[in-house]
Structure 1
Amino acid sequence: MEMGGFLFYVFIFLLTTLLSYIFLGGDKKERPQTRAKLPPGSMGWPYMGETLQLYSQDPNVFFADKQKRYGEIFKTHILGCPCVMLASPEAARFVLVTEANLFKPTYPKSKERLIGPAALFFHQGDNHIRLRKLVQGSLSLDALRNLMQGIQAITASTLDSWGGGHVINTFHEMKKFSFEVGILAIFGHLDSHYRDELKKNYCLVDKGYNSFPISIPGTPYKKALLARKRLTNILADIICERKEKKSLEKDLLGCLLNSKNEKGEILTDDQIADNVIGVLFAAQDTTASVMAWIVKYLHDNPKLLEAVKAEQNAIRKANDEGNRPLSWSQTRKMPVSYKVVLESLRIASIISFTFREAVADVEYKGYIIPKGWKVMPLFRNIHHNSEFFSDPQRFDPSRFEVAPKPNTFMPFGSGVHACPGNELAKLEMLTMIHHLVTKFRWEVVESHSGIQYSPFPVPLHGPPARFWKESME
């Protein structure tokens, strides 16, 4: 969504919530009167809080200014919710690991409706553990070995469509790539008819996910809701076919279909559909965003690009000049390229923060986090803190020659709700790097430092780039 349109919706939200505050008497839970001290910070206007300040500027500036003024724990009020924001590794670990039982994952209901309430990341406790084991099982290292051939085929097909020097939006093209890899990991082989229908309707859900949640015909959100219903029907047909075959596939769908809990209960079709959509959602934009940044970072650092090319061309040469495919073991031995991936994850910080909600009053470092308040560990602030990463705005993969201090590098989150697909994401990136630098050269058009949020940070306009196939003579 363009910034102007988004700000219009924010304005409507603020106006609506202000009227609610006036006529309903305000949010009586917002400011507890009898508690120990709250963290420092500003709560902004009644109910509206500081939503407009957050969304009318670079969100990173908003968070950084708050931290500079109030320290590493501060309060604010955004999107109708009182929040405590945490910008230290110790605080992030406290919320996500050591006291994770006191903080539940939380998402707006509008977004939960589009993904599905049974999806993994809306749960905690025993149900979460069960679902996470199933998802992790389908994305284990053994499972990823079996996906290597398919991922390479998707990579080659994607890159072939870029050649010729026409300008492409790199992020949009990387989204197509990561979507196809997600389909492969979830379904294995999937009939082209089902794939096309899933893609068409998923794109509508994706467009509506970050739109203002007005369920009026013609709005992006309403279109997304209707597309989500169609996705349920498509997935029901796929599930029915798979059940009839009684196969024991080890892809995600197979793991979900063949699961039974200690009581012998299986997952319902709706539960399976929600988790399929959830994984597809989690697998696409974030990975595509990082790969778009990698394309730009390598383009902007010619010496580093040459080092990556040297590493990958040595692997290509060992594979009979590319006549043999890249192997799983070779992806585990790419030290230069792997550090590029890690540094891209750090400096881009695609997941800038995560939302949790306190399930009880929690005391931390002398402050009270009241029950029901949102809690946000700020990953980007930690990743960009000069105390942990020298000259943090400089792209420098060599910094990962030494392991970061504990809890200072969390690109996939941390604790029981950390991303279960992190190994798949890294495999996609390394495979793409190998085929990209050994077969193509490219030029980023309008190469500058602009960032757009959609909602994840990506280079401005994708970035736009031209790709040409290299001569293999």
Structure 2
Amino acid sequence: MWITHESRICWLFLSPLLSLVVFCIVLLLVTMQKRRHGLPLPPGSMGWPWIGETHKFYTEDPNVFFAAKKQRYGEIFKTNLLGYPCVMLANPEAARFVLSTQAHLFKPTYPKSKETIIGPWALFFHQGAYHSRLRKHVQGSLSPEAIRFLVPDINAMVISLLSSFQERTVTTFHEMKKLSFEVGILAIFGRGLGKQCKEELTECYCVAVKGYNSFPNRFPGTPYSKAVEARKRLGEIIRRVMKERKEGSLEKNLLDVLMATQDGNGVTLSDDQIADNVIGILFAAQDTTASAMTWIIKYLYENPKLLEAIKEEQASVTVPGEGSDRSLTWEQMRRMGLTHRVIMESLRMASIISFTFREAVADVEYKGYLIPKGWKVMPLFRNIHHSADFFLEPEKFDESRFMTSPLPGTFLPFGSGLHACPGNALAKVEMITLIHHLVTKYRWEVLESKNEIEYSPFPIPKRGLPVRFFRISTHIDYQQKKMP
């Protein structure tokens, strides 16, 4: 359809008018809600008509955006993002209210475009009986008791990846994504996935991820359009693997557990339900863990004394004479107190999951304010993690703060409540294994030490943290060098 010059001029006049009409309607509805309940809405600014404060949110450092809001309006405030009215909550009590104690009043919510790529049956889009039943099986497959048997495989993956770094510059985040994807494939499919099938999965997944965070334009050739097509192929690959598994014997990896899952009436999950959850778990596992491992490498480089202490602890867990590439054991991992604290402080500082989205399923009163039905609700984990009310000198990296347990609700790196990340134990095993082989076999130089952050969408150091790695002596030689 051709657009005439006259119609363009008409649209230029009508577009602002339509935006104003939409804004007035929203304002009227909000006013009516306020009068009906006799409760005020939280303080804050709704920004421009329709777009709200979306532009400011995506162009500013989120830390600055949230901190400025909190300083001006307090720990509960309203805004408008992506055309949706939102209430943001910046304290542990509020986060616990939404995610735990009154979780039935709020449902998980994601943009439709992202649900399309992952699949509508994915665990984290649901609540109720379906969610509870599925979460039980997913959590069981990713529990410490289950993943301890994957430790030798994860060791081999880490050793192989690091050996490719020798005396070359790498983009750390990009390499950590490779590792977390490999570990995710292992946890989901087990050891029996064929090489060709793994390559097909990887190719389609990379296209889907690229489009997942792009503008949701279905026009042919756009990243989002390509992602939708890649998602279809991912479903086909997973169904093909499932067909092969049905003809063989099931094991104890996540895919096989999902295939064997039944409800109270003996009904198994459909192929679409299984495929959606496999893809959802892959998406949830990759970028978050990769981002955390990238930050750990940066923080250790910036804290030389801490790095030396970590080296000492890691060297002590390997018996002299065992060889530098011997796999860690589950028992050794449990004895790494300092390493665990470094991981926890890295997760607090980086706050990979800055916030989460929920939607009010009814009008909710909180602290004398009205949260209207249908409004998005965002507990702000980053604000809690960086609050001086809960962490002394919050912008300083200090792993010793975790020698005592943080106050309840103040440390939420994996979320909280029924929708907390079920794969946190697997992520920690990845991080511990990486730290062990990294500090005992390599030294590294961060090529850009500026504290700039970019979001993709999770926070990562600028340009993915370019680093140059160098192989050092073996574990035994390292110990000898430390002797006077």
**TM bucket, shorter chain:** over 0.9
What pairs with 1:163-174 in structure 2 (closer than 5 Å)? Answer: 163=166, 165-174=167-176
Q: Distance in 1 between matches of 2:427 and 2:231?
A: 25
Write out per-residue CA displacement over residues 177-208 of structure 1, whole angstroms, 9 at most, x where no aligned residue.
00000000000121010110000010001101
Match of 1:21 in 2: 19
CA separation of 1:262/1:58 partners in 2, compared to 1, >3 Å: closer, same or farther?
Answer: same
For this pair of structures, how many residues does the alignment match? 457
What pairs with 1:353-368 in structure 2 (closer than 5 Å)? Answer: 353-368=355-370
| 1:461 to 2:463 alignment | yes
SS in 2 for 1:38: coil
Match of 2:44 in 1: 41
Please report how far the alpha carbon of residue 19 of structure 1 lies from its aligned counterpart in structure 2 after TM superposition: 7.2
SS in 2 for 1:117: coil
Please report how far the alpha carbon of residue 396 of structure 1 lies from its aligned counterpart in structure 2 after TM superposition: 0.7
Answer yes or no: is the 8 Å Cα contact 2:22–2:49 preserved in 1. Answer: no
Match of 2:80 in 1: 77
Match of 2:307 in 1: 305
Please report how far the alpha carbon of residue 49 of structure 1 lies from its aligned counterpart in structure 2 after TM superposition: 1.1
What pairs with 1:443-458 in structure 2 (closer than 5 Å)? Answer: 443-458=445-460
Q: Distance in 1 between matches of 2:325 and 2:47?
A: 62
What pairs with 1:47-196 in structure 2 (closer than 5 Å)? Answer: 47-163=50-166, 165-189=167-191, 190-196=193-199
Q: Distance in 1 between matches of 2:16 and 2:267?
A: 47
Q: Distance in 2 between matches of 1:18 and 1:178?
A: 46
The runs of 4+ residues in structure 1 deviating greater than 6 Å are 15-19
Gap regions ≥5 residues in structure 2: 1-12, 478-484
Q: Distance in 1 between matches of 2:325 and 2:280?
A: 37
Q: Distance in 2 between matches of 1:436 and 1:316?
A: 14
Instruction: Tell me whether 229-238 or 373-382 shows the greater mean CA deviation.
Output: 229-238
Answer yes or no: is the 8 Å Cα contact 1:316–1:438 preserved in 2. Answer: no
| 1:240 to 2:243 alignment | yes
SS in 2 for 1:317: coil
Which amino acid letter does the alignment assign opposite residue 31 of structure 1?
A: V
- Which residue among 249, 252, 255 is the counterpart of 1:253? 255
Answer yes or no: is the 8 Å Cα contact 2:22–2:50 preserved in 1. Answer: no
Match of 2:399 in 1: 397
Q: TM-score, normalised by structure 1?
A: 0.94
| 1:223 to 2:221 alignment | no
CA separation of 1:21/1:337 partners in 2, compared to 1, >3 Å: closer, same or farther?
Answer: same
Match of 2:378 in 1: 376
Please report how far the alpha carbon of residue 30 of structure 1 lies from its aligned counterpart in structure 2 after TM superposition: 5.3
SS in 2 for 1:468: strand
Answer yes or no: is the 8 Å Cα contact 2:356–2:379 preserved in 1. Answer: yes
Q: Distance in 2 between matches of 1:267 and 1:471?
A: 51
Please report how far the alpha carbon of residue 44 of structure 1 lies from its aligned counterpart in structure 2 after TM superposition: 1.2
Please report how far the alpha carbon of residue 27 of structure 1 lies from its aligned counterpart in structure 2 after TM superposition: 4.7
SS in 1 for 2:220: coil
CA separation of 1:80/1:328 partners in 2, compared to 1, >3 Å: closer, same or farther?
Answer: same
SS in 2 for 1:466: strand
Q: TM-score, normalised by structure 2?
A: 0.92
Answer yes or no: is the 8 Å Cα contact 1:26–1:47 preserved in 2. Answer: no
Please report how far the alpha carbon of residue 53 of structure 1 lies from its aligned counterpart in structure 2 after TM superposition: 1.6
Larger Cα-atom Rg? 2
Q: Distance in 2 between matches of 1:21 and 1:244?
A: 57
Q: Distance in 2 between matches of 1:459 and 1:25?
A: 38
CA separation of 1:134/1:388 partners in 2, compared to 1, >3 Å: closer, same or farther?
Answer: same
Please report how far the alpha carbon of residue 105 of structure 1 lies from its aligned counterpart in structure 2 after TM superposition: 0.3
Match of 2:480 in 1: none
CA separation of 1:148/1:319 partners in 2, compared to 1, >3 Å: closer, same or farther?
Answer: farther
Write out per-residue CA displacement over residues 207-233 of structure 1, whole angstroms, 9 at most, x where no aligned residue.
011100000111100010010011011
Write out per-residue CA displacement over residues 89-120 of structure 1, whole angstroms, 9 at most, x where no aligned residue.
00000000000000000000000000000000
CA separation of 1:264/1:16 partners in 2, compared to 1, >3 Å: closer, same or farther?
Answer: farther
CA RMSD of aligned residues (A): 1.6
CA separation of 1:137/1:27 partners in 2, compared to 1, >3 Å: closer, same or farther?
Answer: farther
SS in 2 for 1:316: coil
Match of 1:3 in 2: none
Please report how far the alpha carbon of residue 161 of structure 1 lies from its aligned counterpart in structure 2 after TM superposition: 1.1
Write out per-residue CA displacement over residues 417-449 of structure 1, whole angstroms, 9 at most, x where no aligned residue.
000001111111001100111111111102110
SS in 2 for 1:188: helix
Please report how far the alpha carbon of residue 383 of structure 1 lies from its aligned counterpart in structure 2 after TM superposition: 0.2
CA separation of 1:142/1:427 partners in 2, compared to 1, >3 Å: closer, same or farther?
Answer: same
Write out per-residue CA displacement over residues 97-154 of structure 1, whole angstroms, 9 at most, x where no aligned residue.
0000000000000000000000000000001001101111111111111111111111
